[in-house]
Amino acid sequence: MTKNSKIEVLQLMREMGMVPLFYHSDISVAKQVLQACYDAGARLLEFTARGDFAFDVFAELSAYAKENLEGMILGVGSITDAAAASLYMQMGARFVVTPSLREDIVKICNRRRVLCAPGCGSLTEINRAEELGCDVVKLFPASIYGPKFIKAVRGPQPWTCIMPTGGVQTDKESLKSWIDAGSFCVGLGSQLIDSHSVNSGDFKGIEKKVAQTLKTIRELK
């Protein structure tokens, strides 16, 4: 995995229009999901680091991507402290996503010129994140706020880039509502990579769904 610049990551987020979110404790399963996303055309994936020994899984996943998946960019999500962010960046994370606005994490990402997308739930938090140098903020949980929140924020602040996560669906109607509201891109987790497909080993089904979702987003943008 190449050391992509923050600008390159931002451009890819905009072009793809979505960031797949995924975590699994079994590295063999995680590799197959990553491969399915890659084969579908995705070139970004957020590893949501929520389990025990998630560091070890990400390290192997990062090495696998570097060796086998040219152009694939891995980021890490659910990060709640600067030490964890630092470790994941050392292992190849090219963007860091947090559930809330943590200034210590933003600062350590800025030191290494790695994109940080903090979770924000108010205009005040969004403004503070932008003052700290964040180019994208995550709206979480998006299902609570809805597309109208993004449209309202971008009225007085058309420069604000928001990635709604948590509650975004993969159907055309849902994606259209978020895109029309002005979303920079959307974060898609279990709605895109569902547990049934993962547990049953239906990686071709995951590939097909990711490819279709990317196609739908391209048509809507």
Distance of alpha carbon 187 from alpha carbon 164, whole angstroms? 6
Residue position matching structure tokens 């932008």: 130
Model confidence pTM above 0.85: yes
115 and 135 in contact (C-beta within 8 Å)?
Answer: yes
Which of these, 14, 63, 19, 7, lies nearest to 45 by C-alpha position? 19
For 1-49, the pLDDT digits (tens) are 346 799 999 999 999 999 999 999 999 999 999 999 999 999 999 999 9
Structural domain includes residue 1: no
Round to whole Å and give the CA distance between 29 and 33. Answer: 6
- Domain containing 71 equals 6-220
Q: Evaluate whether residue 154 is within a structural domain.
A: yes
Give CA–CA dist 124/167, Å, rounded: 22
Distance CA 5, CA 169 (A): 29
**Which CATH number belongs to the domain containing residue 20 in this structure?**
3.20.20.70
Under the banding of pLDDT at 50, 70 and 90, the label for residue 123 is very high
% of the chain beyond a pLDDT of 90: 95
Q: Is residue 151, in this structure, part of any structural domain at all?
A: yes
Domain count of the chain? 1
pLDDT at 66 over 90: yes
- For residues 193 and 213, the answer to whether their CB atoms sit within 8 Å is no
Over range 86-109, report the average pLDDT. Answer: 97
Mean pLDDT of the chain: 96
